[in-house]
Each structure stands twice: as structure tokens, then as C-alpha cells.
Amino acid sequence: MPFTVAIDGPAAAGKGTISKAVARHYGFRHLDTGLLYRATGRRVLDGHDPSEAARGLTPEDLDHPGLRSAEVAEAASRVATMPQVRAALLAFQREFARLGEGAVLDGRDIGTVICPEAEVKLFVTASAEVRAARRHRELSDGTSFEAVLEDVRARDARDIDRADAPLLPATDALTIDTTDLGIEAAVTAAIHAIDARR
Ligand code: CDP
């Protein structure tokens, strides 16, 4: 049976960095499930119907250069509230978790909906201000800090308030708060939690 690590949390909390480091450490495969929603959101911006956009995703869609933009993030956050979009993306994510020796999936609902049987569940979070400051540093397009903070808060609210697969820690998740924690310490905490279950 493959070993599954589920890493959930809000935007820019450090999930991606921790997931990549953990996957590298154990030789596990990694899926950034946010990319599926971003690729779907981008196809909707191009005029596709949301559920068709999700059902018809190709590997090339996941490699599209514009997926990290604020416009696509906003579109992703909107399509992510649609149950038919989430349903269309479910099988691919579960299949990814089943293949190989081990897999790390990061997103919003991995520990609660996609892989509720995951051996390790982490909930990575940080204050909205710290997350917005990190995202502001990553975006080099002149967007103001205030605008980024507003965007982070709007996406948090949409993720938390949606009826289908809302953002919340699984009851058996370990929370890692990275507000005052460096990358190395956060990765070490994740590795300790995983080692304890292997
Ligand atoms: O990197 P960031 O945290 O800003 O976003 P992301 O992880 O790439 O996800 C983009 C959007 O997809 C988020 O705003 C969520 O609304 C949505 N998402 C989701 O609903 N469920 C997931 N498993 C992953 C992402």
C-alpha cells in the first residue's frame, strides 16, 4: 500500500515548499492540487464551461506559463466552489495517491475529502498578513501589499465558507503554524510527523 501525506491549508501558508521538500526527502511523488483548479480556472477565462474545463484538462494545461497570475488564482478560487468541478477532479487526485510507493498531495481538502485515509495529515497555516507578505514578494507585477492582502482574505473566505469540501483541518491533522516559523523548522516538523507513522 502506498504511503500518503495530505497537506492542506490556506493560500501562501507554505504548503508547496513543505510538500516539495517532504517529497524529495522520502522519494515520494508530489501533486500540487491547486494547479488543477488553476488550470481549470484558466480554461474558464478562455471561455470554456467550468465542468467541461475540469473534465478536459490535459498535461499541457498544467504546464501553462500563466497559471501563477493573480487573475488565474481568482478564477481558480471561483471554480473551486463548484461541486461539479470538484467532482470532475476527484478521481485523478485519488488515482495519483494510489500509484507508487508514496505520494504527497497538497491542497485544501486532501485530508478531509480526497484522501481521508492518508497516513499523515498536516494543516499548514499562518496569519493572513504574513501570507500576504510572502505572496507580495513572489508577485513581481507591482500589485500593492493591500491588494494582495485583500485577495488572500477573499480567497480564504471563499474556501472556508463553501458548502462542498470547505477548507478545514481534518480532526486528526497536525497543525503547523508558519507565522513565526522558518522553512527549515516547518519541514523538520513535517518530517518528524511522517517518521512517527512509518
Ligand atoms: O498557491 P495558493 O495557495 O495561492 O493557491 P493554490 O493552492 O494554487 O489553489 C488555487 C485555488 O484553488 C485556491 O484558492 C482554492 O480555492 C482552490 N483549491 C481548492 O479548492 N482545493 C484544492 N485541493 C486546491 C486548491
Residues near ligand 1 (Cβ within 6 A): 11-12, 33-34, 37-38, 73, 76-77, 80, 107-109, 155, 159
pLDDT band at residue 139, thresholds of 50, 70 and 90?
Answer: confident
Residue 152 dihedral angles phi and psi, to the nearest 5°: -60, -45
Mean pLDDT within 183-193: 97
Probe ligand 1: pick from 37, 109, 135, 151, max atoms within 8 Å of CB?
Answer: 37
Report how far ligand 1's centroid is from the alpha carbon of 165 (Å): 12
Give residues with Cβ within 8 angstroms of 185, minimum separation 6.
none
Could you give the residue ranges of the DSSP H alpha helices within the chain? 15-26, 34-45, 50-55, 59-62, 70-79, 83-98, 128-138, 145-161, 183-197
pLDDT band at residue 141, thresholds of 50, 70 and 90?
Answer: confident
pLDDT of residue 108: 98
Residue 14 gets which letter from DSSP? S
**Residues paired with 102 in a beta bridge:** 3
Cell of 173: 491533522
Report how far ligand 1's centroid is from the alpha carbon of 35 (Å): 7
Residue 193 has pLDDT above 90, yes or no: yes
Residue 89 has pLDDT above 80, yes or no: yes
Cell 493560500 belongs to 11
Report how far ligand 1's centroid is from the alpha carbon of 123 (Å): 14
* Position in ligand 1 atom list of the atom nearest CA 37: 12
Report how far ligand 1's centroid is from the alpha carbon of 9 (Å): 9
What percentage of the chain carries pLDDT values higher than 70? 99
Residue 121 has pLDDT above 90, yes or no: yes
